Structure 1
């Protein structure tokens, strides 16, 4: 996974995602973030739906943006 953003203002410019799973909704979310001129700060804190029994509270897009910010991201290190 790669997140492309403007280093001066943090604005998201693009992303590269590759997976054996269906990640269409994730790339749609990135497209919306680009259209809305979001920054990595906004993506890092965006609220994505999750089910506690099946997924983690931090979506991998949150974790990717937090990594871009240089923030710690807890137990989700397995995503990288």
Structure 2
């Protein structure tokens, strides 16, 4: 199952390992992050990234919460 954003279709998350559909990189890869930052409202992106992180936590039981935060939320913009 792939998570898709209308402008980041080429960089979709492939579950359950949460890799990028464009290769073996972890999703969101740098290109997916850039596309999401350019095309998604910052507050909406932060909310969606939190949702992705929660879903990934179920699939990636060997990844620590700190690693999940770094991967899914640390790069999103402050929506304040």
**Structure richer in helix, relative to its length:** 2
TM-score by length of 2: 0.32
**TM-score, reference length from structure 1:** 0.32
Q: Which has the larger radius of gyration?
A: 1
